[in-house]
C-alpha cells in the first residue's frame, strides 16, 4: 500500500477519531487561539509596559514568536500520540501487521502527517499574530525544522505511556523542554550552545538567525534536522520494541 492509499484509508478514520475526542478538538482550537491571543494581547501589553515601566517588549517579539515553533508541534504531537495509544490499546496496530499496510508503512504515514499539520499551523499562527517581520520562505524553513518535533513527541508518548492517562501526564511534562531556549536568548555564544542538548533549541536558533538575517542559519538548520532525525530513529526503535512485546 503506497502513501496515497494510506492517506485515503486512514485519513477519514483519524478525522473521526479527533472529532469524537473533545480533548483533541480542544488542542486544535488552542493552537489557532494562540495566534489571536498574541495578536490582540501582546501589542496592548507592550504599550502598557513601555508607559508604566519603560520596558521595550517589542525588542523581544522574536523571542515570543520563536516559542510558538516548539509549542505548536508539541500540541500536534500529543494529538497524534493519543491516536497511537488508542490504536495500540484497540489492537488496531497488531491487526495492521497482517494487511498490505505494514507497521513500518503505517509509521511513515503517522510521522509524516504531524509534520505537515505542524507546518500549516505554524504558518497560520505567525500570519494571525503578525508580530515579527520574516519572509515567507524563511518562515517555511523554520516551520519545517520545528515540525520534526511533532513526530518525536508522538513517538515519545506512544513508546513510554501505557495508556492515555499516563500519556496526558507525559504531555504536560514535555512542555518543560520549551523553557531552556528562553534562557538561551540571554546567553552569549558559545555558552548558548549548551542548550543544544534539548532538541527544541536548534529549530528556535534557526529561526533567530533567519529573522536576524544571519548568514549561518543553514548550519543551525542542518544540526536541527540531523539531531531530530536521530532522536526520531531512537524513538521508532522504542515503539517497535513496545509493539513486539
Span of 14-23, 144-153, 173-182, 198-207 with lowest mean pLDDT: 14-23
Query: 180 vs 23, which has greater pLDDT?
Result: 180
Query: 134 vs 227, which has greater pLDDT?
Result: 227
pLDDT over 80 (residue 38): yes
| Mean pLDDT, the chain, integer | 84
Q: How confident is the model at residue 162, as a pLDDT?
A: 83
Which grid coordinates are listed for 31?
Answer: 493552537
Q: How confident is the model at residue 244, as a pLDDT?
A: 72
pLDDT over 70 (residue 128): yes
Q: How confident is the model at residue 2, as a pLDDT?
A: 47
pLDDT over 90 (residue 16): no
Q: How confident is the model at residue 133, as a pLDDT?
A: 86
pLDDT over 90 (residue 173): no
Please, which pLDDT band fits residue 152 given cuts at 50, 70 and 90?
A: very high
Q: Between vectors from CA 54 to CA 50 and to CA 58, what angle results, nearest 5°?
A: 50
Query: Counting every residue, how long is the chain?
Result: 245
When pLDDT is averaged across residues 178-185 and rounded to a whole number, the result is 82
Q: In sequence order, what are the residues at sequence separation of 6 or more whose Cβ sits closer than 8 angstroms to the Cβ of residue 90?
A: none
Listed by start position, the domains of the chain span 3-244
Which grid coordinates are listed for 21?
Answer: 475526542
Please, which pLDDT band fits residue 64 given cuts at 50, 70 and 90?
A: very high
Compute CA distances 87 → 10, 90, 105, 153, 174, whole Å: 12, 5, 15, 16, 22
Alpha-helical regions (H) of the chain: 3-20, 22-53, 61-66, 68-89, 92-96, 103-129, 136-147, 149-160, 164-174, 180-184, 201-212, 217-244
Which one, of 104, 93, 67, 126, lies nearest residue 13 by Cα?
Answer: 93
**Taken in order 161, 167, 173, 174, is the CA torsion positive or negative?**
positive
pLDDT over 60 (residue 1): no
Span of 4-13, 53-62, 197-206 with lowest mean pLDDT: 4-13
Q: How confident is the model at residue 231, as a pLDDT?
A: 94
Amino acid at each position: 500500500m503506497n502513501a496515497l492509499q494510506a492517506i485515503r484509508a486512514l485519513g477519514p478514520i483519524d478525522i473521526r477519531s479527533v472529532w469524537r475526542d473533545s480533548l483533541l478538538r480542544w488542542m486544535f482550537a488552542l493552537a489557532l487561539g494562540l495566534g489571536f491571543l498574541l495578536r490582540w494581547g501582546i501589542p496592548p501589553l507592550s504599550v502598557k509596559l513601555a508607559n508604566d515601566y519603560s520596558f521595550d517588549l517589542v525588542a523581544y517579539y522574536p523571542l515570543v514568536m520563536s516559542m510558538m515553533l516548539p509549542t505548536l508541534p508539541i500540541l500536534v504531537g500529543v494529538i497524534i500520540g493519543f491516536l497511537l495509544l488508542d490504536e495500540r490499546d484497540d489492537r488496531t496496530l497488531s491487526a495492521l501487521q497482517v494487511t498490505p499496510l505494514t507497521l513500518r508503512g503505517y509509521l511513515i504515514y503517522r510521522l509524516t502527517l504531524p509534520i505537515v499539520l505542524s507546518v500549516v499551523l505554524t504558518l497560520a499562527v505567525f500570519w494571525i499574530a503578525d508580530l515579527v517581520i520574516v519572509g515567507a520562505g524563511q518562515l517555511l524553513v523554520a516551520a519545517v525544522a520545528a515540525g520534526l518535533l511533532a513526530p518525536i513527541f508522538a513517538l515519545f508518548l506512544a513508546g513510554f505511556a501505557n495508556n492515555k492517562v499516563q500519556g496526558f501526564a507525559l504531555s504536560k511534562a514535555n512542555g518543560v523542554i520549551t523553557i531552556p531556549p528562553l534562557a538561551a536568548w540571554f546567553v552569549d555564544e558559545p555558552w548558548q550552545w549548551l542548550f543544544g542538548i534539548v532538541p527544541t533549541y536548534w529549530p528556535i536558533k534557526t529561526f533567530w538567525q533567519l529573522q536576524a538575517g544571519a548568514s549561518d542559519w543553514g548550519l543551525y538548520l542542518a544540526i536541527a534536522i540531523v539531531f531530530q532525525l536521530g532522536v526520531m530513529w531512537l524513538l521508532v526503535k522504542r515503539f517497535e520494541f513496545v509493539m513486539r512485546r
